[in-house]
């Protein structure tokens, strides 16, 4: 297996398939796996390292991460909070911490950032991508990937309501009379949200709130969408990506449990 020597594209693809194909087959129908592998490899090929050996030193007791919202530290001036945060980190914590975990900094509609309206933008009230990249240059950056659900105002859900691609295929609808009482979730609100669409009222799965609509990872196109987002975050300087609410990702009414073994392996 190549380690120090640069790998050819063919070798990269072979190793990628060996690692990823068995995982995909646990979740998706085997007939679609070859095409899905091709699509995934095309997204990440340029980011695959020549040395693929496991780095067991990536976490240790020497790692100290600060967790913060983008606007936890502000000043009385007109400076955007992310610039203030960057200055504070460099001036006061440069020799104290190794990394910083910035909680969701994208545009949102509720839940302190965990109802994402646009994954590819920085909330303009906080700053911009240059501010994020500046922090990532000096510290190991962790970002939140709110992966289970999106804001009801996200363009995908607006597409769902209008019956437009691709969003019309990205969500989970359930017949109104279905018994969902066995679904495990940390909320007492209704699981299903009645949503007005061009096809009439649809009952849509929403684990956390009516403004946080769950996406459907049973559709492999949703997986591809989020891989694109993660790739974008890595290119912006993220070293770690926290997958928020990952245990609720897979939905099966007949298996009312938290963290389904099949897709979580």
Q: Give dist(CA 155, CA 140) in Å, integer.
A: 31
Q: Which DSSP string corresponds to the chain?
A: --SSSPPPHHHHHHHHHHHHHHHHHHHS-GGGHHHHHHHHHHHHGGG--S--S--TTSS-TT--EEEE-TTSS--SSS--HHHHHHHHHHHHSTTT-SEEEE---S-BSSGGGTSBS-TTS--TTT--HHHHHHHHHHSEEEEEEE-SEEETTSHHHHHHHHT-TTGGGSB-B--TT---TT---S--S-SEEEEEETTEEEEEE-SSBTTEEEB-TTSHHHHHHHHHHHHHHHHTTEEEEEEETGGGSS--TT---SS-HHHH-
Compute and round to an integer the Cα radius of gyration of the chain. 20
Which residue has better confidence, 207 or 253? 207
Secondary structure (DSSP) of 78-143:
S--HHHHHHHHHHHHSTTT-SEEEE---S-BSSGGGTSBS-TTS--TTT--HHHHHHHHHHSEEEE
Q: List active site positions.
A: 244
What are the residues facing 94 on neighbouring strands?
A: none
260, pLDDT greater than 80: no
Cα–Cα distance, 135 to 128 (Å, whole number): 11
Indicate where the chain has its CATH 3.20.20.80 domain(s): 65-149+220-246
Which residues, 6 or more positions from 121, have their beta carbon under 8 angstroms from its beta carbon? Answer: 106, 107
Which one of 3.20.20.80, 3.40.640.10, 3.40.190.10, 3.40.47.10 gives the CATH number of domain 65-149+220-246? Answer: 3.20.20.80
| All CATH 3.90.400.10 domain ranges in the chain, comma separated | 152-214
pLDDT digits (tens, 9 = 90+) for 155-209: 999 999 999 999 999 999 999 989 998 888 888 899 999 999 999 999 999 999 9
Q: What is the pLDDT of residues 25-52, one digit of tens each?
A: 999 999 999 999 999 999 999 888 776 6
CATH of 152-214, one of 3.40.50.620, 1.10.10.10, 3.40.50.880, 3.90.400.10: 3.90.400.10
Q: From 247, 232, 40, select the one nearest 148 (Cα to Cα).
A: 247
What mean pLDDT value characterizes the chain? 91
For the segment 90-139, what is each residue's pLDDT rounded down to a tens digit? 999 999 999 999 999 999 999 999 999 999 999 999 999 999 999 999 99
The whole-number pLDDT of residue 102 equals 98
Residue 77's pLDDT is 80
Instruction: State residue 48 phi and psi, 5-degree precision.
Output: -80, 125
């Amino acid at each position: 297996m190549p380690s120090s020597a640069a790998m050819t594209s063919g070798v990269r693809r072979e190793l990628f398939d060996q690692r990823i194909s068995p995982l995909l087959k646990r979740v998706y129908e085997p007939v679609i796996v070859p095409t899905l592998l091709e699509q995934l490899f095309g997204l990440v090929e340029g980011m695959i390292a020549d040395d693929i050996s496991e780095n067991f030193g990536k976490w240790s007791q020497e790692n100290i991460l600060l967790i913060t919202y983008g606007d936890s530290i502000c000043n009385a001036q007109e400076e955007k909070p992310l610039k203030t945060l960057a200055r504070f980190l460099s001036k006061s914590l440069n020799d104290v911490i190794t990394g910083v975990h910035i909680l969701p900094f994208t545009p949102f509609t509720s839940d302190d950032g965990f109802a994402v309206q646009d994954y590819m933008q920085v909330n303009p009230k906080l700053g911009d991508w240059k501010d994020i990249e500046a922090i990532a240059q000096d510290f190991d950056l962790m970002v939140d990937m709110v992966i289970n659900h999106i804001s009801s105002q996200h363009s995908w859900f607006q597409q769902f309501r209008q019956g437009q691609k691709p969003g019309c295929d990205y969500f989970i609808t359930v017949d109104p009379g279905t018994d969902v009482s066995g679904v495990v979730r940390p909320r007492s609100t209704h699981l299903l949200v009645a949503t007005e669409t061009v096809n009439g009222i649809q009952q849509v799965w929403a684990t956390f709130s009516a403004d946080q609509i769950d996406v459907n990872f049973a559709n492999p196109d949703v997986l591809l969408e989020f891989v694109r987002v993660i790739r974008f975050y890595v290119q912006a300087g993220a070293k770690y990506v926290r997958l928020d609410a990952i245990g609720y990702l897979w939905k099966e009414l007949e298996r009312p449990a938290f963290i389904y073994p099949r897709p979580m392996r």
